Amino acid sequence: MPISLSELAHRTGATLAGDGTVVVSRVSTLESAGAGAIAFLTSPRYRSLLAGTRATAVIVAPEMAGQTTLPKLVSRNPYATYAKVAMILHGPERVVGGVHPSAVIDPTARVAPTAAIGPNAVVGPRTVIGERVRIGAGTVVGADAAIGDDTLLDANVTVYDRCQVGARGIVHSGVVIGADGFGMAEEEGRWLKIPQFGRVVVGADVEIGANTTIDRGAIDDTVIEDDVKLDNQIQVGHNCRIGAHTAIAGCVGIAGSTHIGRNCRIGGAAMIGGHLEICDNVVVSGASQVFGTISVPGEYTGAFPALPRAQWRQVASAVRRLPEIAARLRGLEKDAGDAPAGVPRERDEGER
């Protein structure tokens, strides 16, 4: 939808510089922009692209505003302003309420008249579907569940019985919320299944990426707090808790009963062990392995960087010998401490 630059400034809180009557209809990069596009500059590394862009308007930081004569939105956080502009120009269409003839809605379910239920979707007994909710084709929402206002469940999502998703959520295709956690007890060489009768409770403004799975609690609930952002193909084990405003990248695995604090960032393919806690404001680098509680905010990296294979084998061999080397060092320190003053200690066989 075409919109004037002055209206965008008003709706995003950015400062208008230049002709506010200029109209834009889409966002674009500096390189590919053409007439009618608004582009954005977030890094000084791309400053050279600003001069040659064919965009109609741009979004820049205050220190970059003098680098172009184009009409512009000036913001101290250009990327956040870009996100707001993109949502205005390319956001979801208005929800038109209605139930597709092929959908199966239990008579005891409460579905808001403004909700849109797609083909072959299923809504179970006593479930509550809020205002302007969109439920995609083939999605199943079980019994006694609840979906908050303005939430999107895309195609082929499964929300198990008694689970809840808060308002304004986005749940992408293939997500499974509330499957059983991996609870087993061993007896005489056989596994006994432990019933999983907790729930999954997802807060407001949460986005869950495609094919992510969130297990229900064994006894207590698995909880995803407000404004959490989960990427694709993440596994969240039973009884976990993820604090508000935390963002987790793709292919992360989180074992059961782990609590992750607020405002954390976890890089892709990180593996987080069970029954531990990560405090607020922690950054875990991609592919790191976390096997113990983290109680001090900061950035943590547990990944071993890639090396040429021959060199990696040498380093791995040295790492395997670290316990032996540490034991020898302790012995040397003890010998040095036991030696009388002024008497030189014996050299180790390997010393020169």
CB 159 within 8 A of CB 153: yes
In 15-99, which ranges are E strands? 15-17, 23-24, 26-27, 37-40, 57-60, 72-74, 98-99
Task: Report the distance separating Cα 117 and Cα 39, nearest Å.
Answer: 36
The CA-CA-CA angle for residues 44, 46, 47, to 5°, reads 65
Taking the CB of residue 289, how many other CB atoms lie within 10 A of it?
A: 14
238 is catalytic: yes
Task: Report the distance separating Cα 26 and Cα 39, nearest Å.
Answer: 9
Task: Find residue 271's DSSP bridge partners.
Answer: 253, 289
CB neighbour list of residue 345: distance below 8 Å, 6 or more residues apart: 335, 336, 339
Catalytic annotation, pick one of 10, 172, 238, 259: 238
Question: Cα 274 vs. chain centroid, distance in angstroms?
Answer: 19
Q: How many residues belong to the chain?
A: 352
Helix (H) / strand (E) containing 284: strand 282-284
Task: Report the distance separating Cα 39 and Cα 25, nearest Å.
Answer: 11
Residue-wise DSSP of 295-329: -S-EEE--PPPP--HHHHHHHHHHHHTHHHHHHHH
Q: Can you read off the two tokens belonging to residue 254?
A: 């989180």
CB neighbour list of residue 161: distance below 8 Å, 6 or more residues apart: 124, 142, 143, 144, 145, 178
CB 151 within 8 A of CB 172: no
Active-site residue set: 238
